[in-house]
Amino acid sequence: MSSSTEIFVSNSQLELPTIQESQEANLEDVRQLGAPQDGASPAILFGNGYAYRHDWGFKKGQHILPLNWGLITPNSLVFVAIGEGVSPNTTAGKKIGEARYTLHNVSPQNGVVKIWVNIEWEHSLIRLYADYFVFNP
């Protein structure tokens, strides 16, 4: 006698209150990796790599944040790091404060990359910076 095993497959559906806010990438701040000032050879990367830091402004709680960026495709490899931004601008960097910043998902699509973030903080809104590394093979 043979036995069968049922496998249940599901996909996650976001069922909590979230806020979506779409913004444009500032193309003046995007730099292509392998450029002479980076000291890296394009031969190291077998494709095109880009790095960009985006200021999402003051936030707290859960957010889905779509960044419109024409070079993104569903095949893009997108790596994101988030953290508390240091004022007055993105060149001042990020810091580790008391708030907990969590990146849950990164979803590259045609012309946009969406991230799902959570900022655990019960006080006033605090600044969110996201660093994007995009590699298009």
10-60: pLDDT as tens digits: 444 555 556 778 899 998 888 776 655 555 555 544 567 899 999 999 999
Q: Can the peptide bond before residue 88 be classed as cis, meaning omega within 30 degrees of 0?
A: yes
Residue-level pLDDT at 68:
98
pLDDT digits (tens, 9 = 90+) for 115-130: 999 999 999 999 999 9
Q: What is the pLDDT of residues 49-91, one digit of tens each?
A: 899 999 999 999 999 999 999 999 999 999 999 999 998 889 9
pLDDT top residue among 104 and 48: 104
CB 25 within 8 A of CB 51: no
* pLDDT of amino acid 131: 97
pLDDT at 34: 62
28 vs 4: which has the higher pLDDT: 28
Please report the sign of the dihedral spanned by the C-alpha atoms of residue 13, residue 110, residue 69, residue 92. Answer: positive
pLDDT at 107 over 70: yes
Longest dimension (CA), the chain: 71
**pLDDT at residue 8 greater than cutoff 90:** no
The count of other CB atoms within 10 Å of the CB of residue 26 is: 13
